Structures are given as C-alpha cells and as structure tokens.
Structure 1
Amino acid sequence: MTKLSVNINKIATLRNARGGDRPNVVQVAKDCERFGAQGITVHPRPDERHIRYQDVHDLKEIVTTEFNIEGNPTPDFLKLVKGVKPAQATLVPDAPDAITSNAGWDTVKHKDFLTDVIGELKELGIRTSIFVDPVTEMVEGAAAVKTDRIELYTESYARQYQDNREEAIAPYLEAARKAQELGLGLNAGHDLDLDNLKYMHDTLPGLLEVSIGHALICDALYYGLENTIQLYLRQLR
C-alpha cells in the first residue's frame, strides 16, 4: 500500500496567524498518526512563516511513523536535518520568497551540489528524496547523484486532471517507469486531493508514498480530520 504522509504546515500557519499555541502542532501530528497516517511531513522555510525550526525538534520527540523533512538544502536547513535525523529528507529547490514549491530540481545542472548533500545525509542514515518534474532526464540525473528516491512534482497533473486525465498522467507514468528501471523509490506530492489521488495511485507503478497537506487540511474543515485521513487512505488501497 502507498503510504500517506500528512503535511502539517497549514496547521502551523493557522497557529501563527493568531499567535499562541492553538492549534497545537505536536498534538495534531499525534492525532494524524492515531487516525491512520503513516507519516508526518513538514517543510520549514527560512522565515518560519508556518513550521518553525523548534516545531521540527518537538515533532522528532513524538512522531512514531515516518518523519519527513522537506526543504531547500541551505546551511541552516541541513544543520536542522542533521540534528533531527528524520527518516527521510526531501530536497526541494524553492526560493525563500516562494509561496509554495513550484518546480523540481535540475538534477543535471546541480549534479555536484546534490551529490555532496546526499552523501552527507546518507552517512547519517537519512533516506534521501529529490523533488523533480516528470522528465526522464531529471530522473536519470537523480539516479546519478545516488539519491534513494524521487518525489514527482504533481501540480501539472492536478491542473490538467479534469480536462484529460490520461494526458495529464502520461509524463508521470514515463517518469515512474524510468525510476523503476533505475532502482529509485517513488514518492509524489503537490495538489493531490480526493478527486485525483486514486487515479494516480492506480496508474503509477511502484508509488511508495504521497505527501499531502493543503487539500487534506481544507477537506478536514468539512469532514473532520479523522474522517478525512480515512478518506485519503481509501484512495490508496
């Protein structure tokens, strides 16, 4: 079964909007796991506008499923990841002022940099994943830098899904097959929701994990967090 990792950034965004500690990020992470999530994802950014670095340390103490920290591998981010030692570090090339992640790595152009970073993380026993667009050359570049997995950036799939899902999935299917051929694990994330998740899950070979935050938290406003997590898990069975 493909694992569901719940990204709790939006919980921190809500907390930070008012100040104080409500909702409590640690408690929500515990509840997500209790409700069936098989992982917790956070994406701390330099300005700490949602998840704060202290949140990451606090979560390390209580997450019992897979803890995934994603972000741009700046010196501060790498220091955080090396100190916390999560199950997985997902490297994302987002600019400091980006509202959300909006592109995958050019794994060819940044080969030397990614090779060095991945080597450092793997020495500490941290599984590595690289955020990439569904382009076979970028998948091949990811394999060349010795990452364990790739995470396919699924925004374009989600955007095109309602118009033509077969066309929308085509480059992802090609990328997934290339990943299998090269021995890379496969993750996916960004704009996946209750409408488009099942088709991606049923179509892509070897999909190990999806990371979902924004849509899941939005759905939880209507369905409740426990019920929403169960609805997403059903799409992955």
Structure 2
Amino acid sequence: MQNKIRLGVNIDHVATLRNARKENFPSPINAARLALESGADSITAHLREDRRHINDMDIKEIAYNFPGKLNLEMAATDEMIKIAEKIKPFSCCIVPEKREEITTEGGLNLLNNYNKLKPMITKLKDIGVRTTLFIDPDDANLDACYDLKIDCAEIHCGTLCKLYEENDEKEFDNEFNKIKNFSKKLFSNGIEAHAGHGLNYETTKIISSINEIEELNIGFFIIAESIFNGLEKTILTIKESMTLGRSLEEL
C-alpha cells in the first residue's frame, strides 16, 4: 500500500535574494502563498541565528497568514525555543548550525546532543508542535530517535545527491539503500521519515520511490529553477517527480 507523500517548499532563498540588495522584495510571504496555491503542503523556513536570509518578521507573517503550514527550521538554542513557543508553528525541525557554513552540512549528532535536545523536544511537544530532527541515515541515531520520542526524522540527502551528480553508481546505490533501510526502521517504530537537502527533479523521483518516506522538503533547487520556469511550474514538476517515484515503488 502506498503512503501519501507530501511536499514542503523551503523559501529561504527568496529572502536571500531580497537581502542581497537590502530591499523589501521579492517577498517570502508572496512566495509562500504561491507555493501553497501551486500544491505545496507546507512551507519550510530556517530562522538562522545570524538571520542571513529569513528574519523574525518573516516567520511571524508566515505563521499568521498561513495557519498550520509553517515548518520552522531552527538550531537547538534557548532563543529559538522561545520563538517557537511564541509563534507556535505546526512543526519544528531542529537542525545543526554553524555560522561559517554556506548551507547545512550534515545531520545532528544525536549522541553528543541528547541531553540538550531532550528538554527542548519536551517543550515543543507540550505546546502541540510536531517535532522533527534533521539527521544522517546512521543506525547509531535510531535509539536516540526512539528515546527522544520525536514525531519525525528528516533524513539528510546531501551525500546521495552529490553521488548522483558525480555518477558514482556503486556508492550511490549504497547510500540509497542506507536511506531506504533507515526509513523502514523509523516507520516500523512509529516515526515519520522525511527527506531533504540537495534534491532536484531526478533525485526527488528516486527518493520518492521509498514508500516509507512521507515528506520531502525542497528549497534551493525549486527557487533556482523558478528563475527560468516560474515557481508554480517548478513546484508542479517536482510533484510530478514525486508521483512518478511513488509509482516506481509499486513495480
């Protein structure tokens, strides 16, 4: 039986473009509205500690204008937990964060951060927020996922996507099977498996063939591709890739 697969569109890089000239356009709010009208199930936005793209007002406006649609990505800090408690997004995804990185470079180290994450996840669950951790598909993370009682785990696909671009078939197959097996283990223990980072049309199709993965979060590729094809068409094409990938799972 096929599980439904949802799409979260990350609008961070609409804000990146806006901030490049310190203008008030293009508007992340308008991008969020168009993304939802084009078939996105949710809007992902990463409020970084240095506010390099999305800012506090963006988060407030997304939460206000699109109730139940904001997936807030954030670092595991007291400041971000307080913001989440005030805004009450439907979902929070805790991600690792380094000021010097261009983009998120990998998943959280759950073993090293368990004691820090535990009370934060409890606070989020207490206010009814769906809890997600961004992690690598490493079996060493599984016990921590279960013990932390998270709702979802978003699997870092950056390595898979890089191997696809490098045409390294053997290592790609190994990484794909790693993600597939990890997703099955999450699913069998009642944790939703999500996936994201680096996905394009082709890798979206491939990842969507894993029936246990129930949500994809895609941002940079969608925003970049929309320069040439428009945001609506790009989202529709991504959703077609997701649908095609799901059909491959049935073969």
> Would the TM-score normalized by the shorter structure come out above 0.5?
yes
Q: 1:125 aligned to 2:131?
A: no
SS of residue paired to 2:200 = coil
Q: Deviations over 1:61-116 (max 9, x none)?
A: 11255210012121221111111111110011112332111121221222222111
Q: Distance in 2 between matches of 1:195 and 1:66?
A: 26
CA RMSD of aligned residues (A): 1.3
CA-CA distance at 1:140 after TM superposition: 2.4
The amino acid of 2:191's aligned partner reads: L
Q: Which moved more, 1:124-133 or 1:100-109?
A: 100-109
Distance 1:234 1:38, change over 3 A: same
Q: Distance in 1 between matches of 2:129 and 2:8?
A: 17
CA contact (8 A) 2:91 2:130 kept: yes
CA contact (8 A) 1:152 1:186 kept: yes
Q: Distance in 2 between matches of 1:65 and 1:217?
A: 22
The amino acid of 2:94's aligned partner reads: L
The amino acid of 1:95's aligned partner reads: K
CA-CA distance at 1:153 after TM superposition: 0.5
Q: Deviations over 1:31-70 (max 9, x none)?
A: 1111111110000111111000111001111125521001
Q: 1:224 aligned to 2:220?
A: no
Q: Distance in 1 between matches of 2:112 and 2:78?
A: 20
Q: 2:247 maps to which residue?
A: none
Q: 2:197 maps to which residue?
A: 190
CA-CA distance at 1:184 after TM superposition: 0.8
CA contact (8 A) 1:136 1:174 kept: no
Q: Deviations over 1:151-187 (max 9, x none)?
A: 0011001011232242330110121111122211111
* TM-score, scaled to structure 2: 0.90
CA contact (8 A) 2:159 2:175 kept: yes
Q: Which moved more, 1:6-15 or 1:139-148?
A: 139-148
SS of residue paired to 1:61 = helix
* TM-score, scaled to structure 1: 0.95
Q: Which moved more, 1:77-86 or 1:59-68?
A: 59-68
The amino acid of 2:173's aligned partner reads: E
Listed as ranges, the matches of 1:207-218 within 5 Å are: 207-218=213-224
Runs of 4 or more off by more than 2 Å in structure 1? 165-168
